[in-house]
């Protein structure tokens, strides 16, 4: 079952592209956009994360940080981050624990088991989920306007 608005955001501590731990608790006191995406280097995932990159100034004005999580290895995510000039942390959920905790995981994704579903969550300064969107169709993008609207209401 996916995390719902009003739930306490499940804690996570995942490796970033420098193989350093990044935890939800690192963002206490800030609004955080938590994105889950299926696989690095795929067209829709690239579009999604580049859209976030290109609009980062708007999210910063809304006092929000961004992390993006997939089941790819930190090494794959590092190459993807460098190629796309992404300016926010990409976190490896290789063991699928965060994806499962957020209810953002496919049982079967084109024959692959345990791939993150494209999802977006806004977690407020107190660690409460204020926006939750889990997409069954990986070809769809999150509702970026609804994310911005939610963040605007938090400030």
Catalogue all structural domains in the chain, each as residue range(s) with its CATH number. 13-148 (3.40.30.10)
Confidence of residue 110 (pLDDT cuts 50, 70, 90): confident
Q: What percent of the chain has pLDDT over 90?
A: 94
Q: What sign has the CA pseudo-torsion 74, 78, 84, 88?
A: positive
In contact, 132 and 2? CB cutoff 8 Å: yes
The token pair at 72 is 């790819």
pTM listed for this prediction: 0.96
* pLDDT at res. 108: 87
What does the DSSP 8-state code read for residue 152? H
In contact, 13 and 26? CB cutoff 8 Å: no
- Indicate which residues carry an active-site annotation: 45
* pLDDT at res. 112: 87
């Amino acid at each position: 079952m996916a995390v719902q608005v009003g739930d306490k955001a499940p804690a996570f501590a995942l490796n970033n592209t420098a193989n350093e731990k990044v935890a939800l608790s690192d963002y206490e006191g800030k609004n955080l956009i938590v994105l889950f995406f299926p696989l690095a280097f795929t067209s829709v995932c690239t579009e999604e994360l580049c859209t976030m990159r290109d609009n980062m100034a708007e999210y910063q004005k809304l006092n929000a940080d961004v992390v993006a999580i997939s089941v790819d290895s930190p090494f794959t995510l590092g190459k993807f981050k460098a190629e796309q000039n992404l300016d926010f942390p990409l976190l490896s959920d290789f063991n699928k624990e965060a994806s499962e905790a957020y209810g953002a995981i496919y049982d079967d994704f084109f024959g692959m088991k345990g791939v993150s579903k494209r999802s977006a969550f806004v977690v407020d300064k107190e660690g409460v989920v204020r926006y939750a969107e889990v997409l069954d169709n990986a070809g769809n993008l999150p509702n970026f306007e609804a994310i911005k609207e939610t963040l605007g209401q938090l400030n």
